[in-house]
Structure 1
């Protein structure tokens, strides 16, 4: 199964350790070179789904300015899924990168 780009970068942002939601958003944007920009609602929907799938878990919670701040981390299954997706993308890229570039020449009408 192909992982959504936002999920991939959300998981990748947790490779160095637990982060809270806003930090995941910033790190995912940084890792993707600015391609992945998530609104908070999008991130939390993804985190809920990833949590249900057993790929991330809440590892800490604190109250900041009266609001709960949850810290998420990769589970072992999350590490495995992230690496599998990275391997899948490498294999997909090889289809193009390891083949000589040839252009089909247009056939001129007789």
Structure 2
């Protein structure tokens, strides 16, 4: 799973959001490190929808424009949980190896 996909799914974990709301939440979650352009966002959303990890929740008119809200599916929540566990385990391995490196006096 790409970092962008992981962050989009994470942005939808607690509530449905429209495209711009997802962009803002991804930026907040990544502490400003990841800036999704709208074209990139919709490519990620289309792929995640095709994989049934998210779905269209509703559409609302806002200032004359239609906003599409997306929500995480149960399958998406499972995929997000599995990826979070994988990343946690990978970070644990890296931390252990760094501790061993420092304990051994390797610079």
How high is the TM-score relative to the length of structure 1? 0.87
1:98 is paired with a residue of what secondary structure?
helix
- The more displaced of 96-105 and 72-81 is 96-105
Which position in structure 2 is the counterpart of 1:14?
Answer: 12
Deviation for aligned residue 1:103: 5.8
Which position in structure 2 is the counterpart of 1:83?
Answer: 81
Residue of structure 1 aligned with 2:69, choices 68, 71, 80 = 71
Residue of structure 2 aligned with 1:62, choices 36, 55, 60 = 60
1:36 is paired with a residue of what secondary structure?
coil
1:56-95 alpha-carbon deviations (Å, 9 max, x no partner):
0001101223322100000000000001111111111122
When you count helix as a share of all residues, which structure comes out higher?
A: 2
Unaligned runs of 5+ in 2: none
How high is the TM-score relative to the length of structure 2? 0.89
Unaligned runs of 5+ in 1: 106-110
2:50 paired with 1:38: no
Deviating beyond 4 angstroms after TM superposition, the runs of 4 or more aligned structure 1 residues are: 102-105
Indicate the RMSD between aligned Cα atoms, in angstroms. Answer: 1.4
Measure the CA separation in 2 of the matches of 1:65 and 1:104: 60
Larger radius of gyration: 1
- The more displaced of 21-30 and 60-69 is 60-69
The aligned length equals 103
